[in-house]
Amino acid sequence: VYNRKNNHRRRLVEQHFKIDKESKALLPGVPVHDDDLARDLHDFFNLIILVPIVVLNVLNWDWEKLLFGGRNRGTNSMNGGMGGGDLGNHNNDLAEIPFSYAWTGEYYTLFFWSTVAYFIIDLAWVCIIPKCVKSPSTIVQHHLAVLFYLILPHFTPRARFLMGVCMSVELNTWFLIARRVFNKQGFSPWKLDIPYFVSVRVKLISILFYITWITIRCGIYPYLLYVMIFTIHRSKEYQDILHIIKIGAMMQFIFVCLNAKWSLDLLNSKIRQWKKGNGTKIESGL
């Protein structure tokens, strides 16, 4: 019983990375996964369903403004563009909120309900077949928290851009799952004696995984928390919904802490690897 509970409570880093059992140092590649129908079906479901959700999120943004600025171009793109409802006239104060000036919400309704459907289906899947994941209790708690979090922007159109920013993390989730699905043999991304196509595929997925992890989980998520606590708090346009923003900030703080814990677990494992003197070998890369 103890071993079963201990297995379910393993750190995320131990589920997706090779860890030396004695030194807890990070080892090259990913864990080797045997065929498991329940896990494989669940993984493929996530890889398929997350694609349209990520695409719908992308379609809800004005990428020219998001990438190259545009805060002072006005807020016409936000008026009525948050998935329905006349939001009235917005002044420049609203346009100065980071991310908000680039949110169009053109496909918000489809994006929102697709996201809700995904988390409900995945939640039911894990509850009915808990062996499809290694930490079912963690997944259940996470999905319940996300579903509660999604309620806030749905009933506050001015805050819907926050959902778009938060859901960007699903791109990293896709690469996290892809690392396991497309590398069941546990090859190191930088191992030189594996087939060329396999090498390119494993390298590309690994690189994009770490780029999105650092950018989204370690960068955008804590920055969004800052925006919610300080920038939005000072905005006159949000004074009437500050109580909702505060609830959202508390939820965001929880997710930031989780991302920080997982990142520190990974970093500590990497530091142990360097201390053992393995960091200088090319095949020991992530």
Query: What is the percent of the chain with per-residue pLDDT over 90, rounded to a whole number?
Result: 57
- Structure-token pair, residue 275: 């201390």
pLDDT in tens, 47-85: 999 999 999 999 999 999 999 876 554 444 444 444 444
Confidence (pLDDT) at 279: 45
This prediction has a pTM of 0.77
Q: Determine the pLDDT at residue 140.
A: 96
| CB burial of residue 192 (10 Å; 0-12, 13-18, 19+) | exposed
The span from the CA of 158 to the CA of 160, in Å, is 6
Distance CA 145, CA 119 (A): 10
Indicate the average pLDDT of the chain: 81
104-143 residue pLDDT tens: 999 999 999 999 999 999 999 999 999 999 889 999 999 9
249, 229 Cβ separation under 8 angstroms: yes
Measure CA 223 to chain center.
Answer: 14
On the question of pLDDT at 268 being above 90, the answer is no
Distances (CA, A) of 170 to 59, 86, 120: 15, 29, 15
Q: What is the pLDDT of residue 267?
A: 84
Residue 20 confidence (pLDDT): 55
Query: What mean pLDDT do residues 167-187 have?
Result: 90
pLDDT digits (tens, 9 = 90+) for 200-239: 888 899 999 999 999 999 999 999 999 999 999 999 889 9
Are 54 and 174 in contact, with CB atoms under 8 Å apart? Answer: yes
